[in-house]
Amino acid sequence: MAKKLVIKVTAGADAPERCSQAFTVAAVAAASGVEVSLWLTGESAWFALPGRAAEFELPHSAPLPDLLDSVLAAGRVTLCTQCAARRDITEKDVVEGVRIAGAQVFVQEALADDTQALVY
């Protein structure tokens, strides 16, 4: 089993089931002791902003704010640089603990030894 898990979520409210799956897998992995790095890209970029995760609703799924908090507490959450720029999101706008980084950092994390990468 991989010791590190890098998850890129490209979906937000536009594809709620895919979005929820990514956050759920990230939170469960983090709670299981796996080193998790969750990347917010595309429409999921909005969840880097305070309060936006609370607006997400999907029946029979864990609340997105709880999942995000779990990953922030035990892992790392990164907002894609280009995705942030396209949405006029800056570092001062994001939830505490969320960093903004680009493709080079994603590739570096995804290709590290003992790492599994997933894209939702």
Which tens digit of pLDDT belongs to each residue from 77-112? Answer: 999 999 999 999 999 999 999 999 999 999 999 999
Q: Where are the beta strands (DSSP E) in the chain?
A: 4-9, 35-40, 76-80, 98-101, 115-119
Which tens digit of pLDDT belongs to each residue from 14-32? Answer: 999 999 999 999 999 999 9
Q: Among 97, 92, 107, 15, which Cα is nearest to 61's?
A: 15
Strands 4-9 and 115-119: parallel
Q: Please check the confidence at residue 7 and state whether its pLDDT lies above 80.
A: yes
Q: What is the overall mean pLDDT for the chain?
A: 97
Q: Tell me what the mean pLDDT of segment 37-47 comes to.
A: 98
The reported pLDDT for the residue numbered 6 is 98
Q: Please check the confidence at residue 2 and state whether its pLDDT lies above 80.
A: no
pLDDT-derived band at 1 (thresholds 50, 70, 90) equals low
The reported pLDDT for the residue numbered 111 is 97
CATH of 4-119, one of 3.40.1260.10, 1.10.4080.10, 1.10.3720.10, 3.60.15.10: 3.40.1260.10
